[in-house]
Amino acid sequence: MPDDIEEMLKTMSEDDHTSVGKMAFLKASVEACRRGVPRCHLVSYLDDGALLQELFSREGIGTQIVTQSAERLRRATIGDIGGILNLIRPLEEQGILVRRSREQLEMEIEQFMLVERDNLVIGCAALYPFEEDNAGEFACLVVHPDYRDADRGSILLNNIIGQARVRGYSRLFALTTRSIHWFLEHGFNIVDVEELPNKKKQLYNYQRRSKILALDL
């Protein structure tokens, strides 16, 4: 973002000939953003095909300066159904997630939060309410394989925890067959089936042998 670039420019010296060119391009990009250009791309002429890679691949190859983050956390809408399905289908086919139909997702879409980058859904998670037990379920956490380097799962979890606390829930629980250590690292504890909310207990699939984890809020 422009503010970050300006801070970086303060650390660069005009006496360093290798920095002069970089500084000129960075200053021009900052000025362009300040004047309303939403994003600027700096691409090296030394890399063959760099412009094509920058324009036609999602990650690009150059440096992008934007007036606001290209990535955002927001509540899902009905228009996100396709993106969420594309994200969760591979894990459903592997048996890691329980399959959800499009119709089911349409009914549950208000429970979902997602991370979006350049109009692509790269992460999602849901908070299912169990009001009668003063609890919520943290479910369907998925992050796209290409974007697992910035701990976006923790960002989604923290958002869901915040929502649960605002609703006054005393406990957040999750069921998983693979990510037990991740939940333990985030403060969850393994609990018995009997500690599930009554409605969830009735739906528990003993054949999947999912571990039940709970976080006291």
With H, G, I as helix, E, B as strand and everything else as coil, classify residue 115. Answer: strand
Task: Check residues 95 and 158 and name the one with the higher pLDDT.
Answer: 158
Distances (CA, A) of 163 to 138, 146, 157, 169: 11, 27, 10, 9
pLDDT of 68 strictly over 60 = no
- Highest-pLDDT range among 34-43, 152-161, 195-204: 152-161
Could you tell me the CA-to-CA distances from 172 to 27, 75, 161 in Å, in that order?
Answer: 48, 19, 8
Q: In which element (H, E) is residue 162 found?
A: helix 152-166
Q: Are 156 and 73 in contact (CB under 8 A)?
A: yes
* Beta strand extents in 67-107 (DSSP E only): 71-75
Phi-psi region of 205 (alpha: psi -120 to 50; beta: other; left: phi over 0): beta
Token pair 């760099």 in the structure block, residue: 50
* Confidence class for position 47, pLDDT limits 50, 70, 90: confident
State the Cα–Cα distance between residues 146 and 158, nearest whole angstrom.
21
Q: Which residues contact 105 (CB under 8 A, 6 or more apart)?
A: 81, 84, 85
Walk me through the domains of the chain, giving residue ranges and CATH numbers. Answer: 2-66 (no CATH), 71-216 (3.40.630.30)
Alpha-carbon distance of 186 to 77, in angstroms, equals 28
Alpha-carbon span 103 to 111, nearest angstrom? 14
Read off the pTM: 0.69
Q: What is the mean pLDDT of the chain?
A: 86
pLDDT tens digits, 150-188? 789 999 999 999 999 999 999 999 999 888 999 999 999
Cβ-in-10-Å burial (0-12, 13-18, 19+) of 112 comes to buried
